[in-house]
Structure 1
């Protein structure tokens, strides 16, 4: 198998693996399903291993196929970068970029940086959907998504924007009326405001025990449960009770004095991250690449997205 055949075969393999079928991979490449099948069969013969187990309805990677897919992505991204460097040197990026983001992050963090993106790249047009559901980037036709949490998907490139901490907060007026909890056990006497994810699960409140273990507080008796973390923060500001929210949601209210932090040493901040994700492709368009680079640079400069726990001590009740 010569070099050009090998590249065609690797492209066929990656596209079929990402799309889940030879037919879908073929459509992405603009060739026939038979050509994709022939290319992958030739690649397997050249490597001496089976990369895929396929039936009329399913396509599953073997262990060797999974390992080869990881390395193939690295090689194809290197080719993409080389090609994009040449294209970028000749012309400014143009075209439409479609993004999906949550309502809160889109309003508070994404929207303020879009004017700068469009000023730097006047040939771009940006389309943003504000939606808290988890979407399928490839199926729904998005170029980028901004997502919270860890979402394992081998067909996506994930770039970490930030790691952020959860904190317990309440308003000064609420604390004046109900007292300041000094131990996690004291929260049983307080009005709790909790968050329910779109899948139905209520976000647990975890605490660090003296022996290093993690305990979970029973929040079944909460007085208010909301799916929107931004609205949950507003409820705490309004004095409705104690809420667990992301530090980036609470930051401006802590600075203004509208909220105070509770049980900072005992509360477990969790392991959460915000990521920028986009589909693995043989060629990532310059319009997408420059948008990714600009957004990562802009988000890196946002103070509220990179708060260490030590920065919250000054705001503890």
Structure 2
């Protein structure tokens, strides 16, 4: 099988796999179903493995076919991006950029900087999904994801936006009514506001002991459990209780005196990062590259994302 035949065969395989049938793949390529079948059969003979199991109604990839499909997509994308890179040398970046982000970070940090991105690169079109679930960038066709927490994916490039710090906060009105806890044990006498993640896990409250060990507070008796960290912040502001929230959520209210911090010397701030991720590629499309660079620059300038721990003592109750 020569190079041109191999490319035709790989295209037939990828389109048939994506479409779910030889006929649908053939329509996408503008060739006959028989030609697609012949191309894939030739590819399988050249590789010496079966890539697909065919029935009269469906196609199912073999394990080898699934692995080959992933690599084939990378190769075809590299060809597309090589062409795009040459064209981009004489033109400003253009095209649609799809992003996925959490609802809270998307509204508070991402959305305000998007107009500036379009002003700098008017040829771009931006599509954003504000969704707290973890998406599959490659399978779902996203270019960039902004994700918080402990995330590891070797198939993605990860760029750290910031390190998140968790703090315990309450309103002055609540503290006046119920008192300021002097140590973690006294939290048992307070109304606690906790967060539940999408998977059902309730965020633990961790504290540092004198010997350096970490202890976890049982928050099962919390007065309120919410899935939204932004709503937790609002509940703390309203005087509903003591909440564990990110500094970036609390910062404007700390500066305004509407929230105070508790147990700074005891509470463990966590080890969570906001990460900008995009797929590994032989070449990055200019539209994606300039978007990544712009967002990292914009987030680096946001004060609330980079508050040093030492600066928080001024806002302690």
TM-score interval, normalised by the smaller of the two chains: 0.7 to 0.9
TM-score between the two structures when normalised by the length of structure 1: 0.77
Pair member with larger Rg: 2
How far has the Cα of 1:154 moved from its partner?
2.1
Alignment of 1:159-198 (within 5 A): 159-198=159-198
**Contact 1:195/1:225, CA 8 A, preserved across alignment:** yes
Partner of 1:246: 246
Give the superposed CA RMSD: 4.5
Which deviations, in whole Å up to 9, do the C-alpha atoms of 1:74-132 show, x marking residues without a partner? xxxx9999987754431101111111111110110001000100000000111111111
Matches within 5 A, 1:1-317: 87-317=87-317
| Residues 1:223 and 1:143: Cα distance change in structure 2 (over 3 Å) | same
How big is the shift at 1:205? 0.3
- Between the aligned partners of 1:293 and 1:120, the Cα distance in structure 2 is 12
SS of match in other structure, 2:89: helix
Q: CA shift at 1:150, angstroms?
A: 2.2
Checking the alignment, whether the CA contact within 8 Å between 2:92 and 2:123 is kept in structure 1 is yes
Q: In structure 2, what is the Cα distance between the partners aligned to 1:60 and 1:244?
A: 47
Deviation, 1:243, is 0.4
Q: Return the alpha-carbon distance in structure 1 between the equivalents of residues 250 and 80 of structure 2.
A: 40
| Separation in 2, partners of 1:216, 1:81 | 49
Compare 153-162 and 297-306 and name the one that shifted more.
153-162
Q: CA 1:80/1:309 → structure 2, altered by over 3 Å: closer, same or farther?
A: farther
Separation in 2, partners of 1:96, 1:59: 30
Encode CA deviations 1:235-265: one digit per residue, 9 max, x unaligned. Answer: 0000000000011011011011110011111
3-state SS, counterpart of residue 160 of structure 1: strand
Contact 1:80 1:284 in 2 (8 A): no
Question: d(CA) in 2 for partners of 1:230 and 1:131?
Answer: 14
Report how many aligned residue pairs link the two structures.
314
Does the 8 Å CA contact 1:164/1:307 hold for their aligned counterparts? Answer: no
> Which runs of no fewer than 5 residues in structure 1 stay unpaired?
1-18, 20-29, 31-56, 62-77
Could you tell me the TM-score, scaled by structure 2's length? 0.77
Map Cα deviations across residues 183-226 of structure 1 (whole Å, 9 max, x no partner). Answer: 11111110000000000000000000001100000111100000
Distance in 1 (CA, whole Å) between partners of 2:83 and 2:293 is 17
Unpaired runs of 5+ residues, structure 2, are 1-17, 19-28, 30-58, 64-77
Checking the alignment, whether the CA contact within 8 Å between 2:148 and 2:273 is kept in structure 1 is: yes
* Aligned partners of 1:95 and 1:125 also within 8 Å: yes
Distance 1:215 1:58, change over 3 A: farther
8 Å contact kept, 2:118–2:124:
yes
Cα distance in 1 for partners of 2:298, 2:62 equals 39
Deviation per CA, 1:120-148: give whole Å up to 9, x if none.
00001111111111111122221111110
Q: Secondary structure at the match of 1:93?
A: coil
Would the aligned equivalents of 1:80 and 1:282 in 2 still touch at CA under 8 Å? no
- In 2, Cα distance between equivalents of 1:133 and 1:90: 38
Give the Cα separation in 2 of the matches to 1:270 and 1:84: 42
**Kept after mapping to 1: 8 A contact 2:194/2:244:** yes
